[in-house]
């Protein structure tokens, strides 16, 4: 399990991030000020840091200065939409930034992207007995390769990456098909049916009433 350190002084937001990351299957720790953060970086040795810029004691930039040599991936959380802050953060070696208020889906996607870039996240996902190789774009069930169309593959990937979270039909359409299909949510329903059948996920992909779908892993 990848370890993520959340450095955020607002308890509410910190807890929110923690809950979202835990649902997505990450191990997390929280730091509420600069010195706590530096301590946890040593003792907890996280794979990635979510770093708020505005911090008591030591601000995010000061922490980044101390991290310079460690080659730890950092995603900046910033409430200010100010361009100067973003540029400064990226110059100082931040791998990405995310502006509050943010959606958890966006946060997870960015974390995954950064982790993959650092080689922490492997290029295959596992769900139950399904193994998905991202590079070869192949889905195996045991030793059997299951044929999926491109959209089916993308849809499966999206559901696994956001497992245990309900996704609205509109959001799925937007993320898998792009904006031009907006409105035709029937497409989503048809593809979900196909995946359920092909991968025998009937018990796992739940329909959320009047909303969308959720992939549950029965933990």
In the complex with other proteins, the residue whose CB is nearer, 13 or 134, is 13
Q: Is 154 in the site for other proteins (CB under 8 A)?
A: no
Nearest approach, Cβ of residue 101 and other proteins (Å) = 4
How many Å apart are CA 213 and CA 151, to the nearest integer? 16
Select the residue interacting with other proteins from 27, 96, 131, 216 (CB under 8 A): 216
Q: Is 19 in the site for other proteins (CB under 8 A)?
A: yes
Q: Is 61 in the site for other proteins (CB under 8 A)?
A: no
Q: What is the largest CA-CA distance in the chain?
A: 55
How many residues in the chain? 219
Nearest approach, Cβ of residue 84 and other proteins (Å) = 11
Q: Is 164 in the site for other proteins (CB under 8 A)?
A: yes
Residues 6+ apart with CB under 8 A from 67: 41, 49, 74, 93
Q: Is 1 in the site for other proteins (CB under 8 A)?
A: no
Nearest approach, Cβ of residue 67 and other proteins (Å) = 23
The phi and psi torsions of 117 (rounded to 5 degrees) equal: -60, -35
Q: The tokens 């399904």 sit on which residue? A: 130
Binding flags for other proteins, 81-120, as an x/- string (CB under 8 A): xx-----------------xxxxx----------------
Three-state secondary-structure class, residue 153: helix
Taking residue 97's Cβ as centre, other Cβ atoms within 10 Å add up to 18
Q: Is 57 in the site for other proteins (CB under 8 A)?
A: no
Report CA 192 to chain centroid distance, whole Å. Answer: 22
Please count the residues of this chain forming the interface with other proteins, following the rule CB under 8 A: 29
């Amino acid at each position: 399990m990848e370890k993520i350190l959340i450095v955020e002084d607002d308890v509410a937001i910190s807890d929110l991030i923690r809950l979202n990351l835990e649902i997505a299957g990450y191990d997390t720790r929280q730091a509420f000020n600069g010195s706590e953060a530096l301590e946890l970086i040593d003792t907890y040795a996280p794979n990635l840091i979510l770093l708020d810029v505005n911090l008591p004691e030591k601000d995010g930039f000061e922490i980044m200065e101390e991290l310079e040599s460690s080659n730890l991936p950092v995603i900046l959380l910033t409430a200010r939409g100010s361009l100067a802050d973003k540029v400064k953060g990226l110059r100082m070696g931040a791998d990405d930034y995310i502006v509050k208020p943010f959606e958890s889906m966006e946060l997870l996607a960015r974390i995954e992207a950064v982790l993959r870039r650092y080689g922490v996240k492997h290029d295959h996902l596992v769900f139950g007995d399904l193994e998905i190789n991202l590079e070869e774009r192949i889905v195996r069930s045991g030793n059997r390769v299951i044929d999926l169309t491109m959209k089916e593959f993308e849809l499966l990937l999206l559901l696994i990456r956001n497992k245990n979270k309900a996704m609205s039909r509109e959001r799925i359409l937007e993320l898998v098909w792009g904006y031009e299909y907006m409105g035709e949510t029937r497409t989503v329903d048809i593809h979900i049916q196909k995946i359920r059948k092909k991968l025998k996920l009937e018990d796992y992909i739940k329909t959320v009433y009047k909303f969308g779908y959720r992939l549950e892993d029965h933990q």
